[in-house]
Amino acid sequence: MTYRRLETREGDRFYREAGAGEPVVFLHCSSGSSGAWAPVMEHLAPGYRLLAPDLLGYGRNAPWPRKAALAPDGELGVVEALLDVAGQPVHLVGHSYGGTVALSAASRFPRRVASLTLIEPVAFQLLRGADELDGWREIAALAERHLALVSQGLDAAAAEAFVTYWTGPKAWQRMPDAARDSAVQSAVKVAAEWLLMFAAENDLDAIGGIEAPTLLVCGGRTRRPARRVVEIVCQALPHARYHEIADAGHMSPLTHPADVAEAIRRHVGAVNPQRSSAAKLGLPPNSMAAGEIVTTISFLGDQSEAAAPFTQAAAE
């Protein structure tokens, strides 16, 4: 896996690249980095060209400036640049905050997105318009606490509360010092993302206009507000399918990477069956003879929870 620098109109950005074949672009969660996708990419690399950027304020990018506003389309510059790098329509995969960025990208660049895979996109503003007030109040309380702590300079407390909500009461203590430090450093960016959520409108009409075949992935043990957003988005999209990983929580790309990779592979294969069969064998695209039938055996791998789900996401 190679870390590359990418020139964009907003300045230099960074992304990871691995494999060869049909392009898949991965967008990571809040308080993470492109490294959060490394376990999934390891399962897919033999048959696909995998591209994973660091979103603003994360990874090798400069820390997000305190009190700086985040534009609704602020993350799309690096996505557009990677679409140029790919040189053809991509399969776009987004987790959590990255899922909301993926939705925006699919609306902005419809002809350049071959398919979407959304793993619990955190478009929580949809809860307000769907009469899901309990779920909205739960998320709003988390966001307001985070914003209050960051405004007081208590970034460590904000980061701990954020990680604890999504991964449980012991996750913060299990994280290595470097991972905790990275999560603390990114607390300001997470605050900007919360403010963007509060300002966002109910954009179900825009979501309903996305034509790309879409897979919605949800953990069976995730938080209820996240599940409800998945259900709302799934109902709004015209070409959507739902897939549940029964014993996963919100951080399934880290805790269940084999399951997530297999779900992506099957979804991409449904969009383009011939390329999918080549990818499973580690062959380049178009290397199979027309009409050739390939029998494959797939497996889902280890079902155990990772010891510290945010470790790779924050530290790498």
Average of per-residue pLDDT across 95-100: 98
Q: Is the pLDDT of residue 314 over 60?
A: no
pLDDT confidence tier of residue 129, bands split at 50, 70 and 90: confident
**pLDDT tens figures, 195-231:** 999 999 888 999 999 999 999 999 999 999 999 999 9
The pTM assigned to this predicted structure is: 0.88
* Contact (CB, 8 A) for 158 and 191: yes
**pLDDT tens figures, 147-156:** 999 999 999 9
* Contact (CB, 8 A) for 299 and 243: no
Average of per-residue pLDDT across 32-49: 94
C-alpha to C-alpha distance for 223 and 49, rounded to whole angstroms = 32
Dump the DSSP string for 153-213: T-HHHHHHHHHHHHH-TTHHHHS-HHHHHHHHHTHHHHHHHHHHHHH----HHHHHT--S-
**pLDDT tens figures, 47-85:** 899 999 999 999 999 999 998 999 999 999 999 999 999
- In the chain, where the domains are located: 2-315
User: What is the CATH topology of the domain spanning 2-315?
Assistant: Rossmann fold (3.40.50)
